[in-house]
Amino acid sequence: MREGIDVSYCQEGFDFEAAKAAGKEFCIVRIGRTRGDGRQELDDLFIHNINAAKAAGMDIGVYFYSLATTTWQAQQEAMWLVKQLDIYLKDVELKAGIWMDIEEEMNYREYKMMQYDKLCDILEENINMNMVEEILEQN
């Protein structure tokens, strides 16, 4: 089994070289989140963390902290995420994947996990659809 880490602005000053030396093979970096007002924002240390993980020789991936509880919100998050991937990671292989972080307690109380599965499907469809469109545009 491979071992890895996830990082965000909360781990400011994190030593990626030490993590790699300790056997951590991959790093999943928070790309951003949805704020309480519904707007998405880039993680304050995203660029630094991606570059530091790559410099340490780790496989990289990204995660997005989601607050989506409706189809529309999930689509908005997916479109934002695809745009950021295009801006910051266009030619970067994300060997550790793209992840959604859904953990808000208030959302768990209000919505059943089945609805979260549907929201994740919407996010995945939007991400995949945009990647297919990009491949078609390149050819």
Q: How many CB atoms lie within 10 A of CB 95?
A: 11
Cα–Cα dist 4/2, whole Å: 7
From the list 36, 26, 7, 40, the residue with the least C-alpha distance to 123 is 40
SS3 94: coil
| Tens-level pLDDT at each residue, the chain (139 residues) | 899 999 999 999 999 999 999 999 999 999 999 998 989 999 999 999 999 999 999 999 999 998 887 778 888 888 899 899 989 998 888 999 888 887 665 555 555 554 666 666 766 776 665 544 443 344 3
At residue 87, what are phi and psi to the nearest 5 degrees? -70, -50
| Residues in Cβ contact with 49 at an 8 Å cutoff, skipping those fewer than 6 apart | 7, 8, 11, 14, 27, 29, 30, 43
pTM for this structure? 0.81
Query: 26-34 and 40-42: which strand pairing?
Result: antiparallel
| pLDDT, position 36 | 86
| Residues in Cβ contact with 35 at an 8 Å cutoff, skipping those fewer than 6 apart | 41, 67
Q: How many CB atoms lie within 10 A of CB 7?
A: 23
SS3 29: strand
| pLDDT, position 129 | 55
Q: In this structure, what DSSP letter does residue 36 have?
A: T
Cα 122 to Cα 4, 47, 133, distances in angstroms: 27, 26, 16
